[in-house]
Amino acid sequence: MKALLLIAHGSRRKQSNDEVVVLAEKLKKNCAEQYEIIHAGFLELAQPMIPDGIKKCVEEGATSIVVLPYFLNSGRHVVEDIPNIVSETKLDYPNIDIKIAPHLGASDLMMALLIATANATN
């Protein structure tokens, strides 16, 4: 059973964190066939944090988990912090295949998204 764990930075502003949870719910409706389990998680400042998000996926029966960083730039969080936390958490689940997806800014589709968003101005 495949799981998708959407990881945002986490904010002191509750509304920002709620947006991520809503996005994960939207994702659930859009790719339930591919990923039967989808949750949101946070690097810091909000719950569940990454290890708890992974735990939740495993408890619901995930055998493979894609951790998807909801980050635009390849900053320290993407390059170091998230990989380090995921590597450490992996030790608790030796039989689960846990991978980290590229960050969003790296995708070719980002171009289409930027243009569509600019054009939504009028």
Dist. CA 67–CA 71, nearest whole Å? 12
What's the half-sphere exposure (Cβ side, CA atoms, 13 Å) at 102?
7
Sole binder of its own copies in the list 1, 26, 32, 88 (CB under 8 A): 26
Sole binder of its own copies in the list 21, 45, 49, 100 (CB under 8 A): 100
Residue closer to its own copies, measured from CB, 76 or 94 = 76
Residue closer to its own copies, measured from CB, 80 or 88 = 80
The distance of closest approach from Cβ of residue 87 to its own copies in the complex, given in angstroms and rounded to an integer, is: 16
Dist. CA 40–CA 44, nearest whole Å? 12
Choose among 51, 57, 62, 122: nearest CA to 92. Answer: 51
Establish whether 9 is a catalytic residue.
Answer: yes
Q: Per CB under 8 A, does 20 bind its own copies?
A: yes
